[in-house]
A and B are shown apart, each in its own frame.
Chain A
Amino acid sequence: MTGHLTTAQLLACREPGLEPGVVAARAHLDACTECQAELQRLDQVKARLKALPTLRPARDNWALVQQRVRAERRARWRTRIVAGSMAFAAGVALMLMVRTQLRQDAGQATAIHEAMQRSSQLEQVIQQYNPDTRMVDGQSQLVAGQLEDRIAVVDRELERAQLLAAREREDALLRLWRQRVGLLDALVDVHLTRAQAVGF
């Protein structure tokens, strides 16, 4: 190699790598004080870049982020009500299947069916409370948001439960549908309390 190392070659010496070009550059570097000084200078620029002060935003951006998150949650919730009705329909179809397959578990099957019906009724009640117009206070919105998120988790588990073996599936379905009813009940309470407070 003739002449000193280029910036690219000097930087390559700092990277892992055993390509012939890099090996040759390292050999030159070991023997050349000028290139060593240049590499040291590069290291120092890097150190100075790292030491630059942290720039901070001039205004608070959280309110805007929060607004977008809430708007998206409300949109998601509306879709979920539709999906919930579909899950209900699918659940009914599954029920019929479960019933024919496992007559001895008629009691449990009935219990699942009841939970599903209750779940559907509660969802219809909630639909009357349009979160866009009724949920104006932050605390209620927060609680409602949390409940909605937990219902979404139960819905995901319900989907997974469909894949379980018959016996296990029934236990899981009953547990999950009851859990869903409990969450929906709480959600109705939140909406109801809020609606009364603002005079609806």
Chain B
Amino acid sequence: MAESLVLADADVVLARARAGDMVALERLYRAYEAPVYNLARRICRTVEDAEDVLQETFFEICRSIHQYRGEGSLWGWVRSIAASKALMRLRRNKYRDTDELDDEYHGPVLGKHEHGGLRMDLEAALERLPEVSRAVVWLHDVEGYTHEEIAGMMGKTVSFSKSQLARAHTRLRGWLGGEGALA
């Protein structure tokens, strides 16, 4: 999504941003505000948390832009800061740990054949996932991080990341019904 996002005069903007130029830093903010907020909002539970993550991410970018040496894409660098801030926020809020709530619930669990007209839409299903599972499925499936990278960011093992992804998909499968198959 944001991969294609380009600043017309990226080199100039970057050079000025590194020198601390607020106008250039604001250009960076405008360019990446939406994808950073989107990532934060998909991972965090509330709008307020997502806005805090957005602010923390750009505050960090403003103070450490001189450390970005152009290895890898700028969006990749921005995103890794955003992801780590969002995950930090999850830990700080001590959201429910998925290990405990594996089978306890979040809303009425619909049996395999009970969907009928109650088929949930994807946004709602995603929202309903436990926080850690949702973070893993988003980082892996949408942002394209590997299990190794996610494990590193979360301070967990690779198999933890894999099992969270599988749990998330199992749940989504139950909530979305078979519609994914030939949709």
Q: Hey, which bits of chain A sit against chain B, CB under 8 A?
A: 6-8, 11-12, 15, 37-38, 40-42, 44-46, 48-50, 52, 54-59, 61-62, 64-66, 68-69, 72-73, 142, 145-146, 148-150
Partner of B58, one of A38, A46, A65: A65
If A59-B51, A61-B51 are given as contacts, then 7 extra A-B residue pairs at C-beta distance below 8 Å, sorted by A number, are A44-B181, A45-B176, A49-B122, A49-B137, A54-B1, A56-B33, A142-B21
Collect the chain A residues with CB atoms within 8 Å of residue B42's CB.
55
Query: Whole-angstrom distance from the CB of A3 to the nearest CB of chain B?
Result: 15
Q: Tell me the interface secondary structure of chain A in the complex.
A: helix
Query: Whole-angstrom distance from the CB of B121 to the nearest CB of chain A?
Result: 10
Whether B142 contacts A65 by the Cβ 8 Å rule is no
Cα distance A107–B75 in the bound complex, in angstroms: 51
Whether B122 contacts A65 by the Cβ 8 Å rule is no
Partner of B183, one of A15, A44, A68, A145: A44
Whether B62 contacts A69 by the Cβ 8 Å rule is yes
Whether A46 contacts B141 by the Cβ 8 Å rule is yes
Q: Is B178 an interface residue (CB 8 A)?
A: yes
Range for the number of chain B residues in contact with chain A:
35 or more
Collect the chain A residues with CB atoms within 8 Å of residue B30's CB.
62
Given A7-B166, A45-B176, A61-B55 in contact, is the A55-B19 Cβ separation under 8 Å?
no
Whether B126 contacts A49 by the Cβ 8 Å rule is yes
Query: Whole-angstrom distance from the CB of A63 to the nearest CB of chain B?
Result: 10
Closest to B57 in A: A65
Q: Tell me the interface secondary structure of chain B in the complex.
A: helix
Q: How many inter-chain contacts with C-beta < 8 Å in the A-B complex?
A: 114
Q: Is B73 an interface residue (CB 8 A)?
A: no
Partner of B29, one of A15, A50, A62, A149: A62
Query: Whole-angstrom distance from the CB of A58 to the nearest CB of chain B?
Result: 7
Given A11-B169, A57-B50, A69-B63 in contact, is the A50-B55 Cβ separation under 8 Å?
no
Query: Whole-angstrom distance from the CB of A114 to the nearest CB of chain B?
Result: 28
Collect the chain A residues with CB atoms within 8 Å of residue B123's CB.
52
Given A55-B38, A62-B29 in contact, is the A7-B122 Cβ separation under 8 Å?
no
Q: Is B93 an interface residue (CB 8 A)?
A: no
Provide the B1-44 mask, 1 if CB < 8 A to any CB of A, else 0: 10000000000000000011111011001100111011001100
Whether B37 contacts A57 by the Cβ 8 Å rule is yes
Given A6-B166, A49-B137, A142-B21 in contact, is the A57-B51 Cβ separation under 8 Å?
yes
Most buried by B among A48, A73, A149: A48
Q: Is B170 an interface residue (CB 8 A)?
A: yes
Collect the chain B residues with CB atoms within 8 Å of residue A54's CB.
1, 34-35, 38
Cα distance A65–B36 in the bound complex, in angstroms: 14
Given A57-B51, A58-B47, A62-B29 in contact, is the A45-B169 Cβ separation under 8 Å?
yes
Cα distance A146–B54 in the bound complex, in angstroms: 24
Query: Whole-angstrom distance from the CB of B99 to the nearest CB of chain A?
Result: 15
Enumerate B46-61 residues with CB–CB distance to A below 8 Å.
47, 50-51, 54-55, 58-59
Collect the chain B residues with CB atoms within 8 Å of residue A55's CB.
37-38, 41-42, 50
Collect the chain B residues with CB atoms within 8 Å of residue A41's CB.
173, 178, 180-181
10 nearest A-B residue pairs (beta carbon): A8-B166, A149-B20, A41-B181, A41-B180, A46-B141, A65-B58, A55-B41, A69-B62, A54-B38, A44-B180
